């Protein structure tokens, strides 16, 4: 799901930042301090100042998905409050060259604000340069064009509360295995600030807060298609694992296949992001214990609010994070709505009854 956007950027040489042990919160791609999205709001005076201005926005997304639909809905609703129309909406299909063409198409419509996830830092830096020259207010999702300066070239970067996602995953794992036991740790094997923080936050929370839980096996993964193979190798060496953390939902499905193939109903899985296969297993009482997700609708709302404040000449925070939430069998219906602003898949809802 949304992990694809981070994988694409990482493979393209995306922005990177090592996650140091001293950090206890999410930090931005250049070490920026996080500002909660809840603090980025529009006042009645802000709304009044925009009335009848005829401002337009463009939404230049990296792909089409439930995630981008939810981000779009949050942004559209916030722009509508300020009387700002959506002039252009595009899908680059994870193609940096196509995204460059999308930017050129959008600029022809003369938008005042652009919300986008840059797929490649180098290509995007050149592609968005004309928008900067034209005075368009730019707000980026998760990634940043190379050498762009906040306040000069763009208003804000908005992303998930990455630290909290990892921490909540650790808390969910501890709950699922009764606060003690042996777990495996499958992390994203790339030096990329988004996934690094989520994964390392899980590991550090287990080590710090749960002394009776031991991470006895660690395995990096870069290709989700290898997840089942890697999980089989891990389980061969550690057949008594009580739980396995998996960096996101797609490879978690492969780990689930490995457990099923081994007839293992004991080992619990905790992973990040929402996806139908793992959610279906979770509500049926299978190996999957919990899914930790972002609030995609809130990401879009915060992006729009930052763009609007920039239009008004107000200072905007450099790095904004939206909340994380833990989704379990008990709250799967509400959790899906809170995250993606839509109902859970019917198969999941039926199985949860």
Closest CA to 256 of 240, 273, 244, 238: 244
Q: At 78, give phi and psi (nearest 5°).
A: -70, -40
Q: Taking 50 as the threshold, does the pLDDT of residue 271 lie above it?
A: yes
DSSP string, 94-139: T-HHHHHHHHHHHHHT--SEEEE--S-HHHHHHHTHHHHHTT-EEE
pLDDT value at position 14? 39
* pLDDT confidence band for 121 (50 / 70 / 90): confident
What Cα–Cα distance (Å) separates residue 263 from each residue in 58, 217, 267, 283? 50, 20, 10, 19
Closest CA to 277 of 304, 252, 241: 252
Q: 327-352: per-residue pLDDT in tens? A: 999 999 999 999 999 999 999 999 99
Ordered strands of the 288-294 beta sheet: 213-221, 181-188, 243-246, 268-272, 288-294, 324-327
What CA–CA distance (Å, rounded) separates 152 from 34?
Answer: 19
Please, what are the domains in the chain? 3-160+296-322 (3.40.50.2300), 162-294+326-352 (3.40.50.2300)
**Coil/strand/helix, residue 284:** coil
Q: 190-231: per-residue pLDDT in tens? A: 877 788 899 999 999 999 999 999 999 999 998 989 999 999
CB atoms within 10 A of CB 336: 22
Q: What is the mean pLDDT of the chain?
A: 91
* pLDDT confidence band for 4 (50 / 70 / 90): low
- Which token pair is 80? 């509508």
What CA–CA distance (Å, rounded) separates 130 from 121?
Answer: 15
What CA–CA distance (Å, rounded) separates 240 from 255?
Answer: 15
Asked if residues 121 and 153 have their Cβ atoms less than 8 Å apart, the reply is no
* pTM for the whole structure: 0.87
* pLDDT confidence band for 130 (50 / 70 / 90): very high
Q: 149-199: per-residue pLDDT in tens? A: 999 999 999 999 999 999 999 999 999 999 999 999 999 998 777 888 999
Q: Taking 80 as the threshold, does the pLDDT of residue 73 lie above it?
A: yes
């Amino acid at each position: 799901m949304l992990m694809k956007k981070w994988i694409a950027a990482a493979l393209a040489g995306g922005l990177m930042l090592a996650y140091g042990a001293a950090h206890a919160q999410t930090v931005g791609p250049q070490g920026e301090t996080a500002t909660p999205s809840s603090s980025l709001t529009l006042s009645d005076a802000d709304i009044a100042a925009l009335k009848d201005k005829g401002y337009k926005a463009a939404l230049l997304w990296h792909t089409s998905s439930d995630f981008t639909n939810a981000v779009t809905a949050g942004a559209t609703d916030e722009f509508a409050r300020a009387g700002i129309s959506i002039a252009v909406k595009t899908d680059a299909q994870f193609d940096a060259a196509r995204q460059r063409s999308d930017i050129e198409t959008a600029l022809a419509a003369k938008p005042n604000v652009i919300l986008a996830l840059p797929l490649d830092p180098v290509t995007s830096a050149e592609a968005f340069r004309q928008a900067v020259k034209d005075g368009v207010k730019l707000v980026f999702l998760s990634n940043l064009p190379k050498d762009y300066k906040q306040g000069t070239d763009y208003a804000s970067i908005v992303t998930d509360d990455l630290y909290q996602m990892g921490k909540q995953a650790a808390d969910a794992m501890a709950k699922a295995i009764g606060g003690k036991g042996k777990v495996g740790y499958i992390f994203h094997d790339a030096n990329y600030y988004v996934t690094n923080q989520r994964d390392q936050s899980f590991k550090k929370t287990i080590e710090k807060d749960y002394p009776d839980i031991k991470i006895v096996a660690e395995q990096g993964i870069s290709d989700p298609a290898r997840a089942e193979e890697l999980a089989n190798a891990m389980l061969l060496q550690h057949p008594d694992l009580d739980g396995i953390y998996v960096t996101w939902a797609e490879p978690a499905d492969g780990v689930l296949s490995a457990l099923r193939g081994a007839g293992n109903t004991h080992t619990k899985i905790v992973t990040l992001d929402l996806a139908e296969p793992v959610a279906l297993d979770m509500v049926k009482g299978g190996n999957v214990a919990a899914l930790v997700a972002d609030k995609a609708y809130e990401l879009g709302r915060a992006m729009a609010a930052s763009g609007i404040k920039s239009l008004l000449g107000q200072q905007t925070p450099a790095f904004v994070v939206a909340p994380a939430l833990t989704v379990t069998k008990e709250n799967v219906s509400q959790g899906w709505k809170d995250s993606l602003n839509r109902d859970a898949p019917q198969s999941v809802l039926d199985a949860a009854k």
